[in-house]
């Protein structure tokens, strides 16, 4: 057969031209519709903002029984099969034309409950996002085999667990017992709690377990969201001790489940189904658990809301604190924002009266907390030249004395061995000859390596003086552990950190030992630590971030809270005065109140609502041009972005250094009063929908309430 052009015979005179054959579409095929409520409204899993609405489809009679609200479905959209969720069924369509029938019901399991559907819509509107993006976070991927492994209901002859409510851990706090009484009576109190360190039976995890038990007594469910798996383990252990058993398919009377993405698709979906089917009334998990379909939710708990792990890195970038706040309003549930510290956002809620403060008086704070001492250069002036040492003499003496009583914690803000090195002669920072990235050492005898491209600096010479030797600029946790091991021979030295050889430790024995860890990787010591030494305070507070002050105090308090009340905490280094004094006084609420007051004066979050737009200048200008500013709002920028941004929602964008002015990547901030925040979110969402429908060139990422403004 020839590969040349196709030749068609011309039409004979008097005959009509042949019509091209077309493939039959779904709507061209006669389908018998369901007898009742034949119209399905479906949320299609497509990201373009202009498609963020429900679409109507015909429910075939063959799918009538399976097509219930909340199930996953396959529908025809844009010439292809796409996934979606059936939101509701109605009798009459709003669309005038013929409806395309549903292709199939993926699973008869109604995974999207009405309450979670309303919450997902509220979160999307709050962050100027789309419902499909939120549903990807709220509903875990299906694991078909697991659906048959989880029972559908609890046996009729099985009585649910009946834990006995107590208030031991809440008694020392003003408003604590009243908070539990309100929960057990079926109320929905909202509280912000500054937790103090305490002995067994009075820790933060056991206090949360008591709040959960009080909620269960009222016949309602509870949801606890924590930053990481170690915190999940602590809360679960406290629930076990409080008489709330873990869910098990072989034990129908069980109550709580662990819901974490890190546990794998099968275990995660199994726990999700247990909650969905009402087999478990309590959920303990990490970020995505904020959307768990808990039946008759009575209490939502967020532990340590200042932790970055609570902020979702995917669009529309929701934060657990805000998600649980919206959920508490929609479902009329109680809310507990708890931490050893106090975020400025939580303090703003306290100041507005939306939540009530639960805290201990100063006498109780002094009784429960260890003694804190700040070893600044002023404090160490009498030490002479030794005051400049990274571990001054008072710190050495404290470690030596306290090792006799138990383990000593040493917190280091940097990981690795020598994260940064310099020329030993002229002290210029050592940089890679290929990409100019910083050089670092991974061990004492290791070859210097670039921290950016990974190239080994085998024949490195200083560009300024030609010298070939290094000196340390910053010291990491591995080098610190090595130095302490030499200084205290015979003492066990343990390391904890993501880059450590032993990984992140969850717990260490109560025997004498030195535990060197990076920030956030502090293990719990059995019986508590005898002392804690927090090194390099200036590094923790030296950031230009808007959150540097509160973040430094939050990290220090997390480590200090692991020390026994008769122990001692040493903060070493010239950190910023404000967080240093707040740590010494153990007053996180006072620091948060002062930070909020100053931010209100200069118009910074959370005193205002802020939206960040990053993208090509022309695209950002188009989006902003369609956004009417509410009264009191203003626009800051746009200004060129100095570094390449993260991948945007519409795809990765490269920083343009030359070419058209409209192609330069810029950043603009829209700032409005808090009361106009929802209006701003609606306007930005509408502008992005217009942009999507018109297929405007360029790329823009919109993020409300960004973690950083500076």
The string of pLDDT tens digits covering residues 681-690 is: 999 999 999 9
The overall pTM is greater than 0.85: yes
Convert the pLDDT of each residue in 129-172 to its tens digit. 999 999 999 999 998 888 877 777 665 445 555 677 788 899 99
Cβ 316 vs Cβ 124: under 8 Å: yes
Residues 6 or more apart whose CB falls under 8 angstroms from that of 489 comprise none
Q: In what order do the strands lie in the sheet with 221-225?
A: 256-259, 282-285, 221-225, 297-303, 334-339, 190-194, 356-358
Do 382 and 352 fall within a single domain? Answer: no
The pLDDT of residue 363 is: 94
What would the pLDDT profile of 556-567 be if each residue is shown by its tens digit?
999 999 999 999
SS3 191: strand
For residues 113-119, average pLDDT: 96
Residue 124 resides in a domain: no
Tokens of 677: 């925040």
332, 364, 396 — which closes off a domain?
364
pLDDT digits over 230-256, tens only? 999 999 999 999 999 998 877 666 689
- pLDDT > 80? residue 66: yes
Question: Is residue 170 in a domain?
Answer: no
Residue 26 has pLDDT above 70, yes or no: no
Residue 19 reports pLDDT greater than 60? no
Residue-wise pLDDT for 40-62, tens only, equals 999 999 989 999 999 999 999 99
In the structure, what pLDDT confidence band is assigned to residue 631 with cuts at 50, 70 and 90?
A: confident
Task: Note whether residue 14 is domain-resident.
Answer: no
Domain count, the chain: 4
Q: Which pLDDT score is estimated for 59?
A: 94
Is 266 within 8 Å of 144 (Cβ atoms)? no
Partners of 299 in the beta sheet?
222, 334
Lowest mean pLDDT across 397-406, 444-453, 496-505: 444-453
Task: Kindly report, residue by residue over 634-663, the tens digit of the pLDDT.
Answer: 999 899 886 544 445 444 333 333 345 567
pLDDT confidence bin for 23, thresholds 50/70/90: very low
Q: Are residues 421 and 565 in the same domain?
A: yes
Q: Is the pLDDT of residue 378 over 60?
A: yes
* pLDDT at residue 67, rounded to an integer: 94
> Residue 40 domain-assigned?
yes
- The yes-or-no verdict on residue 454 having pLDDT over 90 is no
682's enclosing H/E stretch is helix 677-694
Residue 641 and residue 554 share a domain: no
261 and 205 in one domain?
A: yes
Q: Which DSSP state fits 626?
A: T
pLDDT band of 535, cuts 50, 70, 90: very high
**Residue 95 confidence (pLDDT):** 83
pLDDT of residue 18: 54
Least confident of 72-81, 145-154, 578-587: 145-154
> Tens of pLDDT along 492-521?
999 998 888 888 999 999 999 999 999 999
Shared domain check, 309 and 394: no
Q: What percent of the chain has pLDDT over 70?
A: 90
Same domain (yes/no): 458, 574: yes
User: Please, which residues have CB within 8 angstroms of residue 401's CB and are 6 or more apart in sequence?
Assistant: none
| Amino acid 152: pLDDT | 72
pLDDT tens string 2-12: 444 444 545 54
Same domain, 618 and 580: no
* Across 20-24, 34-38, 411-415, 619-623, least confident range: 20-24
Radius of gyration of the chain (CA): 30
Q: Is position 9 within any domain?
A: no
Predicted local distance difference test score (pLDDT) of residue 159: 57
d(CA 319, CA 230): 20
Q: Answer with the residue of higher pLDDT: 200 or 172.
A: 172
- Comparing 457 with 55, the larger pLDDT belongs to 55
Residue 123: pLDDT above 80? yes
Inter-residue contact 43 to 87 (CB < 8 Å): yes
CA distances from 3 to 6, 7, 555 (A): 8, 11, 72
Burial class (CB in 10 A: 0-12, 13-18, 19+), 432: buried
**pLDDT reading at 288 higher than 60:** yes
Shared domain for 347 and 453, answered yes or no, is: no
**Residue 121, in any domain of the structure:** no
So what's the pLDDT on residue 674? 92
pLDDT band at 113 (very low <50, low <70, confident <90, very high): very high
Q: What is the pLDDT of residue 650?
A: 47
Higher pLDDT, 5 or 173: 173
SS3 213: helix
pLDDT at 386: 63
Last residue of a domain, one of 110, 125, 147: 110
Domain end position, chosen among 598, 632, 653: 598
* pLDDT recorded at residue 656: 37
Q: Does residue 232 sit within a domain?
A: yes
Structure tokens at 127: 């962050």
The domain of 411 spans: 370-598
pLDDT of 374 > 90? The answer is yes
Q: What is the DSSP letter of 20?
A: P
Distance between CA atoms of residues 357 and 27, nearest Å: 59
User: What DSSP letter does each residue of 90-146 carry, written as one string?
Assistant: ESS-S-SSPPPBP-EEEES---S-HHHHHHHHHHHHHTT--HHHHHHHHSPPP-HHH
Does the pLDDT at position 710 exceed 70? no
Are residues 353 and 382 part of one domain?
A: no
- Which residue would you say has higher pLDDT here, 63 or 201? 63
Q: What is the pLDDT at residue 7?
A: 47
Are 419 and 527 contained in the same domain? Answer: yes
Residues 396, 534, single domain; the answer is yes
- CATH code for the domain in which residue 337 is found: 3.40.50.300
Evaluate if residue 600 carries a pLDDT over 60.
yes
Domain with 700 in it: what CATH number? 3.30.70
Is it the case that residue 22 has pLDDT exceeding 90?
Answer: no
**Residues of the chain above pLDDT 90, percent:** 63
pLDDT at residue 122, as a whole number: 97
Mean pLDDT of 423-443: 79
Average pLDDT, the chain: 87
The tens digit of pLDDT for each residue in 344-361 reads 999 999 999 999 999 999
Distances (CA, A) of 631 to 125, 628, 672, 673, 702: 20, 9, 8, 8, 21
Is residue 115, in this structure, part of any structural domain at all?
A: no
Q: Give the relative orientation of helices 677-694 and 114-126 as an angle to the nearest 10 degrees.
A: 90
**Site of tokens 């010479």:** 461
Same domain, yes or no: 594 and 639: no
Mean pLDDT for 466-480 is 78
């Amino acid at each position: 057969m020839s590969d040349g052009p196709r030749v068609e015979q011309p039409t004979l005179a008097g005959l009509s031209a042949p019509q091209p054959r077309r493939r039959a579409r779904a709507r061209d095929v006669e389908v018998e519709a369901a007898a009742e409520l034949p119209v399905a409204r479906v949320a299609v899993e497509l990201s373009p903002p202009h498609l963020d609405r429900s679409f109507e489809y015909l429910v075939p009679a063959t799918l009538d029984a399976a097509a219930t609200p909340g199930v996953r479905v396959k529908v025809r959209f844009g010439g292809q099969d796409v996934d979606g969720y059936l939101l509701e069924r109605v009798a009459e369509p709003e669309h005038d034309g013929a409806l395309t029938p549903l292709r199939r019901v993926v699973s008869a399991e109604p995974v999207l409950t009405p309450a979670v559907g309303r919450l997902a819509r509220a979160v999307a509107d709050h962050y100027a996002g789309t419902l499909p993006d939120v549903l990807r976070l709220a509903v875990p991927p299906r694991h078909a085999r697991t659906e048959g492994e989880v029972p559908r209901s609890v046996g009729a002859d099985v009585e649910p667990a009946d834990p006995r409510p107590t208030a031991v851990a809440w008694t020392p706090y003003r408003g604590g017992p009243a908070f539990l009484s309100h929960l057990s009576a079926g109320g929905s109190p909202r509280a912000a709690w500054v937790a103090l360190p305490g002995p067994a039976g009075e820790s933060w995890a056991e206090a949360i377990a008591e709040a959960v038990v009080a909620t269960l007594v009222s016949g309602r469910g509870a949801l606890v969201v924590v930053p990481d798996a170690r915190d999940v383990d602590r809360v679960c252990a406290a629930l076990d001790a409080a008489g709330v058993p873990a869910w098990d398919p072989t034990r129908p009377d069980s109550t709580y489940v662990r819901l974490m993405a890190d546990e794998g698709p099968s275990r995660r979906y199994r726990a999700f189904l247990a909650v969905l089917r009402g087999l478990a009334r309590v959920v303990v998990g990490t970020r995505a658990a904020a959307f768990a379909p808990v039946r008759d939710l009575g209490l939502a708990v967020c532990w340590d809301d200042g932790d970055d792990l609570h902020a979702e890195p995917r669009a529309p970038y929701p934060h657990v604190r805000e998600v649980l706040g919206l959920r508490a309003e929609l479902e009329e549930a109680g809310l507990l924002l708890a931490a050893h510290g106090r975020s400025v956002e939580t303090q703003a809620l306290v100041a507005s009266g939306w939540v009530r403060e639960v805290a201990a008086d100063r006498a109780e704070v002094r009784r429960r907390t260890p003694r804190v001492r700040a070893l600044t250069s002023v404090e160490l002036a009498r030490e002479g030249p030794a005051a400049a040492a990274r571990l001054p003499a008072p710190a050495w003496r404290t470690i030596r004395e306290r090792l006799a009583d138990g383990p000593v914690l040493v917190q280091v803000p940097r990981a690795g061995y020598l994260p940064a090195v310099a020329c030993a002669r002229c002290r210029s920072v050592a940089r890679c000859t290929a990409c100019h990235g910083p050089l670092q050492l991974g061990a004492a005898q290791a070859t210097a390596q670039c921290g950016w491209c990974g190239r080994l600096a085998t024949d490195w010479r200083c560009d300024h003086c030609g010298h070939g030797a290094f000196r340390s600029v910053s010291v990491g946790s591995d080098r610190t552990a090595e130095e302490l091991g030499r200084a205290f021979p015979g003492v066990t030295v343990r390391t904890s950190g993501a880059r450590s050889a032993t990984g992140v430790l969850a717990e260490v024995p109560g025997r004498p030992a030195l535990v060197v860890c990076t920030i956030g990787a502090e293990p719990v010591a059995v019986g508590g630590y005898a002392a804690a030494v927090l090194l390099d305070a200036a590094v923790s507070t030296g950031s230009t971030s808007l959150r540097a002050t509160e973040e430094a105090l939050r990290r220090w308090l997390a480590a200090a809270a692991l020390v026994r009340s008769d122990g001692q905490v040493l903060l070493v280094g010239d950190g910023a005065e404000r967080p240093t004094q707040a740590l010494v006084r153990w007053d996180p609420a006072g620091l948060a109140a002062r930070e909020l007051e100053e931010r209100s004066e200069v118009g910074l979050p959370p005193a205002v609502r802020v939206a960040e737009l990053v993208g090509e200048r022309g695209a950002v200008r188009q989006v902003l041009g369609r956004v009417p500013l509410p009264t009191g709002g203003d626009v800051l920028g746009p200004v060129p972005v100095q570094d390449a941004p993260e991948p945007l929602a519409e795809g990765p964008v490269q920083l343009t250094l030359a070419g058209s002015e409209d192609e330069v990547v810029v950043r603009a901030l829209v700032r409005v009063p808090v009361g106009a925040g929802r209006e701003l979110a609606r306007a930005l969402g509408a502008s992005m929908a217009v942009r999507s429908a018109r297929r405007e060139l360029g790329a823009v990422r919109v993020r409300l309430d960004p973690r950083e403004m500076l």
